[in-house]
Amino acid sequence: MEKINIKICTGTACYVMGGANILMLEDFIPQDVKDFVHIEGSTCLEYCKNAELGKPPFVKINDKLISEASVPKILDYINHLTGKDF
């Protein structure tokens, strides 16, 4: 399986719009894909300054930008990448 890199923005706007909850993401990743997922935090990714990209909180999974991110939304996308159902 290919490595999945997840970058969570911890900037002000993302944090207050729900990003704080996403920082617990690691606890929700299923055991069998855990080894392939790399989670890191980031200082402001500055996507919030461009309204066309959507609304905060922002999370970047590999090259895909997810706006209005939430834990279920991220899990869905990991699901899509791994082709697994959980």
Partner 1 sequence: MNKNGYFIEVDSYQGYKHNQLVGGDVFLSTKIKEENRIVSVLSDGLGSGIKASVLATLTATMASRFIVNYIDIKKSAQIIMKTLPVCKERKISYSTFSIVDIESDEHIRIIEYDNPPYILLRESRIMDVDKNLIKVKPRRKKESQLYFSNFKAEMGDRIILLSDGVTQSGMGTPTMPLGWGISELRMFVEQIISENKTISARELAKRIVKKAMANDSFRCKDDITCGVIYFRKPRNIMVMTGPPISKDKDKDLAAMIDTFDGKKVICGGTTANIVARELKRDIKVNLRDIDPEIPPPASMHGIDLITEGIITLGKVAELLEMGVKQDSQDGNAAQKLVYSLLNSDIVNFVVGTKINEVHQDPNMPVELEIRRNVVKKIIKLLEEKYLKEAHLQFI
**1-to-9, 15, 47 alpha-carbon distances in Å:** 25, 31, 29
Tokens standing for residue 48? 């919030």
Q: Choose the stretch contacting partner 1; rule: CB under 8 A; options: 12-20, 29-37, 61-69, 76-84.
A: 12-20
Q: How far is the CB of 86 from partner 1 (least distance, A)?
A: 23
What is the size of the binding site for partner 1 (CB under 8 A)? Answer: 24
Judged by CB under 8 A, the residue of 2, 3, 31, 43 near partner 1 is 43
CB of 16 to partner 1, least distance (A): 5
